[in-house]
Chain A
Amino acid sequence: MPRWLYSVIAILIGISLGLLYGWVINPVQFVDTTPASMRADYRADYVLMIAEAYNGDQNTDLAIHRLAALGGSSPVDITSQAIQTAQNIGYSADDVSLLQELRRALQAYQPEPPTMEGTP
């Protein structure tokens, strides 16, 4: 066997050992995760909590602020995804209705225009 082949085999073994260590023995630890990385059903429940709170306070600004924790998608998209998940995993009709009500409020939401203070 040519000597260069030893080196190639050694590199391949090393890569294998590195992957074994990095993926199995000591993988990157994600202990400080964000709500955006949660599993779909947890995300749906998170949105449902927002919808339940919204049902009580009718505060759309606060609901949008809370939805922002779930990532960069628009609040309507996040809520739509939650509705889809909720329907897929069998949420009650009442819960789905709350989510839909939140989505309707978000779709109808018109942020207040910025005031033009200081302009002549």
Chain B
Amino acid sequence: MTLTHDAAVAAGKPAPAPGRLTDLFQLGLDAPICLTWELTYACNLSCVHCLSSSGRRDPRELTTAECRQVIDTLERMQVFYVNIGGGEPTVRPDFWELVDYATAHHVGVKFSTNGVKITSEVAARLAASDYVDVQVSLDGATAPVNDAVRGPGSYATAMRAMENLASGGFRNFKLSVVMTRHNIPQLDAFKAIADRFGAQLRLTRLRPSGRGADVWQDLHPTPEQQRELYDWLVAHGEQVLTGDSFFHLSAYGSALPGLNLCGAGRVVCLIDPVGDVYACPFAIHENFLAGNVRDPGGFEAVWRSSDLFASLRAPDTGGACRSCGHYDSCRGGCMAAKFFTGLPLDGPDPECVQGHGQAALAAVSSGAAPKPSADHSHRTVPVTIGRRPPRRDCDENPLAGFTA
């Protein structure tokens, strides 16, 4: 599961421009720059912070034929690439077929995986394509830190996948890390792991979305750690990707590389496994549901004419943040982070680096934050099967009491 475009907005200050690029993007594009497509809610893991509360497959999942139709639409709309996630997308039996279909139709693929299916054969095949990129998730530079969040054995799985990718000749795949209170001290160690495998490090923000809502309070970085992260990101510049997810940190000073704006419904969106289109991957809630790819007109109609997206593209007022001198750099922060912590969308981000979020959070009454619309978590409560004592010994074992 990942956000958005890591493609740093490079290039120039060409010829006279009608305005800042962020202002143009703010009003939306004819098609998303890229979009996140979660192919399945099925997952072999149960990460505590899963944005999509994944675990069990949804029986209404898009079929292979429906997925192909979505890809045809994306090709027509000239969406450059999709970020495929889940769940664990590679557990879908038609996953590789869909990847091949997308790249044959000029839609690039970057997929996120916990590494479970990345054997050396798969790695070698992936390395051969310019149009497929792989992102391996790891949330601790050491097994104890990672496995506490992603589950026992997940560190070993990810490391094996990265070894396979590196030895299969896949250069510059992504090592993707969600930043938490426990792994921010490991920033340099993550970089060392990425360097060792010839990978590029990608750091993203922990969101209080999905199951993340339950652990956000305990796992989100402390204010001191946010500063440490910002300084580290500034020092590493464009070498390290962020999915542009830390724009709320830009209020510390200079803007981080990339697009400093909430792209929800403007330049990005999410298609979930059952075809629902949400404004962003972190906002799986009916308030941010724009439509479904199975609706008449398909994804194109949802993107171009949903009321929700139209309202997100309207110029925003900045609300309570407008009078803050940092509004131009942080743009009020992340919509999903505000929503799932119970904060108003036109107010400060819960992790506002100027401290306005803490005060706002204190005013949210307990239990007031909205809950995600769906939960596909594995049922982890063990099922107990009651046992009655046998009425006769023979009910237990036909040879009971038999002695030769």
A and B bound?
Answer: no
